[in-house]
Chain A
Amino acid sequence: MTTLPIITLLTLTPILGALVLALGGHRGERPARNIALGFGLLALLETWLLVAGFDGKSAALQFVERHAWIPSLGVEYFVAVDGLSILLVLLSALLVPFAVAVSGGIGDRPRTFYALMLLLQAGLFGTFTALNFFHWFIFWELSLVPAYFLIKLWGGPARRTAATQFFIYTFVGSVAMLLAMQAVFLATGTFDLPKLAELARSGELARGLETKLHWTGLSASALGTVLFVGVFLGFAVKVPLMPFHTWLPATYAEAPSSVTMLLTGAMSKMGVYGFLRILAPIFPGQLRDLLGPLMALAVLTIVASAFAAFAQKDLKRMLAYSSINHLGLCLLGLFAAMQPTANTAGWQTEKVAALNGVLLQMFNHGLTAAALFGFVALLERRAGGLRGLDDFGGLRKVAPVFAGLMGISLFASLGLPGLNGFIGEFLIFKGAFPLAPYAAALSTLGLLLTAIFLLTLIQRVFAGPLNERWKTFPDLTRGELLVFAPAVALMFLLGVAPQLVVRLINPTVIEAVNRLGN
């Protein structure tokens, strides 16, 4: 199993694709897209091998590849997957071909566009598999660069501002995180994430901060809090947690829709992944100390973003706020799972439920939100760039298949049972309600509001009398159906058989809960 370095191959595949695209001399968009799609599908195939070879009963790291890189700085090439990683690798591998297939009408430098998409995928794969902070951070930033150019070069009218805002915002967060992690390195001498988690558990990290960093003049606990805030900032911006979210609506709205699919589908998961992989294991004590305010922020994120979505007139902005809302639920579940409790099996089960819910929600939101932005991309292309809530009306009459599939995706997004979104939300609330009753009860308001604005979307766009302007609005073509039907089918499949995903993550989650302690 260890003979084939499959994770390295997986990460290199999109990079190779990007190179082929960058160096090849093909003209026109279609060949470029086909090449990108080919490499995307190849990566999906490799991911499939990874998933097939993954031992779902074990919580251990699998497919480990470990080589010394810069030993003096504690830097190693260390990649592996566990239940958490494999889920997100799978998500990235699914979404990139999906987004590439939905892309179209890239008149300007199509080869660069698709090459950047593939580079973004490489960044995602690297982020989700790297287990050495140094190495991880490189990929974390690597994914930012293509995203920046994709927004800046192919975005909407206000793309420059949006791209700059996006870059600076996330970069400030990253820098804060980098500084904090360097302090951690000074205290411990390692960048190895699993090892750091272990050191944090044994209290060695705190001792290290005390002895090695006493020159800062701060006590270990104060220093710990400062470092925690630094790392927290990096992830909170990425997720985003209110009030660090203002870059998001503008960015999602201005980015080309297929790029938005990746931004919301995969890149926003990097933040939650960071919370789960780095912040919670390395700073559990600090997280618990600040749990009250953090929980309040999560509830604020859920409720305020839902309200804000309700007030939007632009479909992409509305869905952007909806994304904030869904990711807020992830953080609610995560924070709830950090709640100190008695060490009984009952509470452990609630925490496991909450974290399972968080992971499912990540996967499901990735799929659903990407599909929704994909539909908006089609809508935009057919309407010549229009995507206002009131620009359409009655489309269901002329485009029933389009309306039906997008309707299913919208219902999946609002958490209809039988579709994928429900189980994640149910598990999050199952865990969060006993652990944090008031926060969870308030957050249900977000569920209600989500239903309101998504149904309003259906009502304004698809129902009502047909807007004469769109009399010849084309329904989904065969090719588009081929792209979207599998996504919708997957929504049904995961809604009916969540075991397919839970199978992969459950042992990891149990292990995580045990490690996080009470």
Chain B
Amino acid sequence: MKGIINSLWLIPALPLLAAGIIALMKRPQRKPAAALAIGSMALAFLVSCVAFVATLQPEAGKGAVQLTHNFAWFDLGGSALRLGWLLDPLTAGMLVMVTFVGSLIFIFSVGYMDHDENLTRFFGFLALFAAAMLGLLIANNLLFLFMCWELVGVASYLLIGFWFHKPSAAAAAKKAFITTRIGDLGFFLGIVWLYHETGTLLFYDNGAGCLEQGALTKLVTQTTVGGMAVSTAISLLLFCGAVGKSGQLPLHVWLPDAMEGPTPVSALIHAATMVAAGVFLVARVFPLMGAATADLGLEGHSPHTTALTVVTWVGACTAVFAALIAVAQNDIKRILAFSTVSQLGYMMLGLGVGGPAVGMFHLLTHAFFKALLFLGAGSVIHGSHHEQDIRRMGGLRKLMPITFAAYAVGMMALAGFPLVFSGFWSKDEVLHAAMIWSPSKLPFLLGLFGAVLTAFYMTRQMWFVFFAPRAESASSPGRAAHSASHHEPQGASSSPHESPRVMTLPLVILAVATVLLSLFATPVWPWFHAYLGGQLDHLQVGWSADSAAGLTMLLSVLAVALGVSASWRLYSRGKAGTDAVERLFPRLFRALQGRLYVDEFYAATVFRLNAAVAVLSDWADRFVWSSVVELAAWLAKGLAWLSRTLDESGINSGFDAGCVETRGAGGFASRLQNGQTQRYLRILGAGVVVLVVAIVWMGNN
């Protein structure tokens, strides 16, 4: 089984190959493209399962399975830059989740994107995304991870902008890429710095990797700007990348806009997998984040390093912030998007206070139930003819029973209904870890408040979509226009209908998985912790939690009950067409609906500054720099003019005067030459006389 490491590259290579082939296909080859993408994903799932099984048998006393395969990429000075694959429980768990959820979403897409003319391209992009995401998971090198990280960003860009003819989609795609890239700059610098300090980017390399003891000891002892340990500085830079990718404050703005993409994309990329990459990154470099001079951490809890404290606070704030905004959104996908941001905050919180096992378990459960919710939303949207406003839905419980049932499972998992829903257990663990986190109790309280809000907004959404009295289609001109454009006969077919089986089947499977997953991390049988920690052989069935766990569970159940009942009471008694919260707190609601004006704030500050500096640079270029050049040119021209003037007035005029004189003399001489021979003779005679006189006179002296 250990030989799987040598074939691990197959997992990303299969979808990559599919993407390459699909890229060369023609537009009408829809079925082969879809089949190829789904087939490659299914194969990758099988290989992932093999890899997963290989991690289930830890060697006694050596902790978790950790297989690596490193190779040189290119020469660099005396050594070489080396890349590699890594298989450990963290990777294996993620691999299985991504390939499984991915396969289901691929299948769902066949139904959802049925009408789209660019289906071939769509599957190409999906396969590219899957390849990059899987590459990111198996990377044993931070640089390779970063490369895949950027590639998933591109795939996300392409898929958000899939309907590129819509300006909003094109803008959202750009926004997503650039916002995440802001975080990536920090990530990039972190990588470069880490590379410099440790001389390698391999995570694990038989003791010489950058996440292994030798390198970590070196990193924590050195200090840098402001007395910060180098490990902390690097961790924070790397965390910047995670903030961007996982939509944490203050870089969360792209994720809601990313809902412009097709719904399966939202489910796969912007809920289940890619946005979780930031969480995965933090979990992957957790040894670095948690590295401290003396091991402050207690057994089973994470150490309280500066980096992890930052992670905790960012996560907690994001969790509540996004949950608040979600309360006032009306677009079914946007509610889920803000919910995703909020849940990613929980994962970060879990990582910060409880370590990888806590955060990662919430990541895995969330991936299933959020994919379920998004696909459910996709099914709703598909069924109600691309209507996305929850206030115009209603009563779908009867019309779409399967979707309703699956969606209800997802909603209860997200809200944290007790016992049989995986979301309850994973969220409970996060809260439990936050409760016993010694530096501050505030993150715990924030998390608890977030839980109330989550239950509240999900109940609100359920009520509007599935329970509320059905709004008349005539009252919504937008929809009427829409159905008219479909050229369908009015009546039966314009009312919502259940989606085809190719779409409901993945829903059902995901719903079942959501419930089943709750078995793996209960306090009675904490299998997942043991798996990640490499202690499966010590795993025992039995109540293993402390007293705080019971209290946390009680509190979280109360929170859910509070949220659900409040929401249900408010909305079920409210008048149709208006929002109960809006009536109670109109100003607050509007602020929340405007997403607390973060986008507007950025537009007013960052964008405007950017544009201003751009104009300034251009202006400087056109006027300042070039006027310096112009000045030099003018100077040269001035000198040339001066030189010419001097030439003409000084040197030339002297020469000219000489010429004039010579010419005058010539004229005079020529006037003497008048052609009168006798005058010549006379002059000759006079000359002779003068000569004679002179000779005589001289002879006398």
Provide the A121-165 mask, 1 if CB < 8 A to any CB of B, else 0. 000000000000000000000000000000000000000000000
Known: A242-B625, A416-B150. A502 touches B75 (CB 8 A): yes
Q: Assess the B178–A455 pair: CB atoms within 8 A.
A: yes
Q: Assess the B165–A466 pair: CB atoms within 8 A.
A: yes
List residues of chain B with CB within 8 A of the CB of A349. Answer: 76-79, 199
List residues of chain B with CB within 8 A of the CB of A227. Answer: none
List residues of chain B with CB within 8 A of the CB of A201. Answer: none
A275 touches B (CB below 8 Å): no
List residues of chain A with CB within 8 A of the CB of B189. Answer: 429, 433, 440-441, 444
Known: A346-B199, A429-B192. A463 touches B181 (CB 8 A): no
In residues 123-165 of chain B, which contact A (Cβ within 8 Å)? 143, 146-148, 150-151, 154, 157, 161, 164-165
In residues 19-75 of chain A, which contact B (Cβ within 8 Å)? none
Q: How far is the CA of A430 from the CA of B74 in the complex (A)?
A: 15
List residues of chain B with CB within 8 A of the CB of A459. Answer: 170-171, 173-174
Q: Assess the A307–B616 pair: CB atoms within 8 A.
A: yes
Q: Assess the B161–A506 pair: CB atoms within 8 A.
A: no
Provide the A416-456 mask, 1 if CB < 8 A to any CB of B, else 0. 11100011001101100110000011001101110110011
B73 touches A (CB below 8 Å): yes
Provide the A303-345 mask, 1 if CB < 8 A to any CB of B, else 0. 0110110111000000000000000000000000000000001
Known: A417-B146, A455-B178. A350 touches B196 (CB 8 A): yes
B42 vs chain A, min Cβ distance (A): 25
Q: Assess the B621–A246 pair: CB atoms within 8 A.
A: yes
List residues of chain B with CB within 8 A of the CB of A427. Answer: 76
Interface secondary structure of A, over-half rule: helix
A430 vs chain B, min Cβ distance (A): 5
Q: Assess the A312–B164 pair: CB atoms within 8 A.
A: no
A465 touches B (CB below 8 Å): yes
A351 vs chain B, min Cβ distance (A): 8
B173 vs chain A, min Cβ distance (A): 8
Known: A433-B192, A447-B185. A243 touches B628 (CB 8 A): yes
Q: Assess the A418–B614 pair: CB atoms within 8 A.
A: no
Q: How far is the CA of A463 from the CA of B192 in the complex (A)?
A: 34
A76 vs chain B, min Cβ distance (A): 33
B9 touches A (CB below 8 Å): no
Select which of A249, A394, A510 is within 8 A of B165 by beta carbon. A394
Q: Assess the A246–B188 pair: CB atoms within 8 A.
A: no
Q: Assess the B199–A249 pair: CB atoms within 8 A.
A: no
Q: Assess the A455–B174 pair: CB atoms within 8 A.
A: yes
Known: A349-B78, A447-B185. A462 touches B196 (CB 8 A): no
Q: Assess the B154–A416 pair: CB atoms within 8 A.
A: yes
A404 nearest CB neighbor, chain B only:
B23
Q: How far is the CA of A457 from the CA of B34 in the complex (A)?
A: 31
B182 touches A (CB below 8 Å): yes
Provide the B53-84 mask, 1 if CB < 8 A to any CB of A, else 0. 00000000000000000000111111100000
Interface residues on B, range: 35 or more
Known: A429-B192, A466-B165, A499-B73. A307 touches B79 (CB 8 A): no
B148 nearest CB neighbor, chain A only:
A417
Q: How far is the CA of A411 from the CA of B173 in the complex (A)?
A: 14
Known: A434-B193, A462-B164, A465-B167. A498 touches B614 (CB 8 A): no
B613 touches A (CB below 8 Å): yes
List residues of chain B with CB within 8 A of the CB of A498. Answer: 73-74
List residues of chain A with CB within 8 A of the CB of B143. Answer: 426
Q: Assess the B174–A352 pair: CB atoms within 8 A.
A: no
Q: Assess the A308–B170 pair: CB atoms within 8 A.
A: no
Q: How far is the CA of A447 from the CA of B154 in the complex (A)?
A: 15
Q: How far is the CA of A434 from the CA of B198 in the complex (A)?
A: 12
Q: How far is the CA of A506 from the CA of B167 in the complex (A)?
A: 46
List residues of chain B with CB within 8 A of the CB of A509. Answer: 77
List residues of chain A with CB within 8 A of the CB of B591. Answer: none
Select which of B78, B165, B196, B611 is within 8 A of A464 by beta carbon. B165
Q: How far is the CA of A342 from the CA of B151 in the complex (A)?
A: 37
Q: How far is the CA of A348 from the CA of B170 in the complex (A)?
A: 45
Most buried by B among A418, A465, A498: A418
Known: A448-B178, A463-B164, A464-B165. A308 touches B76 (CB 8 A): no
In residues 173-201 of chain B, which contact A (Cβ within 8 Å)? 173-174, 177-178, 181-182, 185, 188-189, 192-193, 195-196, 199
Q: How far is the CA of A423 from the CA of B628 in the complex (A)?
A: 37
Known: A307-B617, A311-B615. A430 touches B170 (CB 8 A): no
B610 touches A (CB below 8 Å): yes
A356 touches B (CB below 8 Å): yes
A248 nearest CB neighbor, chain B only:
B621
A207 touches B (CB below 8 Å): no
Q: Assess the B165–A506 pair: CB atoms within 8 A.
A: no
Q: Assess the A352–B147 pair: CB atoms within 8 A.
A: no
List residues of chain A with CB within 8 A of the CB of B150. Answer: 416-418, 422
Q: Assess the A311–B618 pair: CB atoms within 8 A.
A: yes
Q: Assess the A506–B76 pair: CB atoms within 8 A.
A: yes
A432 nearest CB neighbor, chain B only:
B192
A434 nearest CB neighbor, chain B only:
B196
A288 touches B (CB below 8 Å): no
Q: Assess the A356–B164 pair: CB atoms within 8 A.
A: no
List residues of chain B with CB within 8 A of the CB of A466. Answer: 165
B576 touches A (CB below 8 Å): no
Most buried by B among A416, A422, A433: A433
A254 vs chain B, min Cβ distance (A): 15
A195 touches B (CB below 8 Å): no
B629 touches A (CB below 8 Å): yes
List residues of chain A with CB within 8 A of the CB of B182. Answer: 448
A396 touches B (CB below 8 Å): yes
Q: How far is the CA of A5 from the CA of B413 in the complex (A)?
A: 76
Q: Assess the A312–B154 pair: CB atoms within 8 A.
A: no
Q: How far is the CA of A452 from the CA of B174 in the complex (A)?
A: 8
Q: Assess the A464–B167 pair: CB atoms within 8 A.
A: yes
Known: A426-B143, A433-B189, A510-B77. A456 touches B174 (CB 8 A): yes
Q: Assess the A310–B154 pair: CB atoms within 8 A.
A: no
Q: Assess the A451–B178 pair: CB atoms within 8 A.
A: yes
List residues of chain A with CB within 8 A of the CB of B615. Answer: 311
List residues of chain A with CB within 8 A of the CB of B188. Answer: 426, 429, 444, 447
Provide the A366-403 mask, 1 if CB < 8 A to any CB of B, else 0. 00000000000000000000000000001011000000
B665 touches A (CB below 8 Å): no
B672 touches A (CB below 8 Å): no
Q: How far is the CA of A417 from the CA of B188 in the complex (A)?
A: 12
A253 touches B (CB below 8 Å): no
Q: Assess the B76–A356 pair: CB atoms within 8 A.
A: yes
Q: Assess the A463–B196 pair: CB atoms within 8 A.
A: no
List residues of chain A with CB within 8 A of the CB of B75. Answer: 499, 502-503, 506
Q: Assess the B77–A506 pair: CB atoms within 8 A.
A: yes
A426 nearest CB neighbor, chain B only:
B143
In residues 106-133 of chain A, which contact B (Cβ within 8 Å)? none
B79 nearest CB neighbor, chain A only:
A349
Q: Assess the B192–A502 pair: CB atoms within 8 A.
A: no
B620 touches A (CB below 8 Å): yes
A223 touches B (CB below 8 Å): no
In residues 604-649 of chain B, which contact A (Cβ within 8 Å)? 610-611, 613-618, 620-621, 625-626, 628-629
Residues of B within 8 A of A (CB): 73-79, 143, 146-148, 150-151, 154, 157, 161, 164-167, 169-171, 173-174, 177-178, 181-182, 185, 188-189, 192-193, 195-196, 199, 610-611, 613-618, 620-621, 625-626, 628-629
A selection of 15 A-B contacts at a CB cut-off of 8 Å is: A245-B625, A308-B618, A311-B618, A350-B196, A353-B76, A356-B76, A418-B151, A422-B150, A429-B192, A440-B189, A447-B185, A452-B178, A506-B77, A509-B77, A510-B77
Residues of A within 8 A of B (CB): 169, 242-243, 245-247, 249, 304-305, 307-308, 310-312, 345-346, 348-350, 352-353, 356, 394, 396-397, 411, 416-418, 422-423, 426-427, 429-430, 433-434, 440-441, 444-445, 447-449, 451-452, 455-456, 458-459, 462-466, 497-499, 502-503, 506, 509-510
Closest 8 CB pairs of A and B: A417-B147, A463-B170, A352-B77, A311-B618, A307-B617, A499-B74, A310-B614, A463-B164
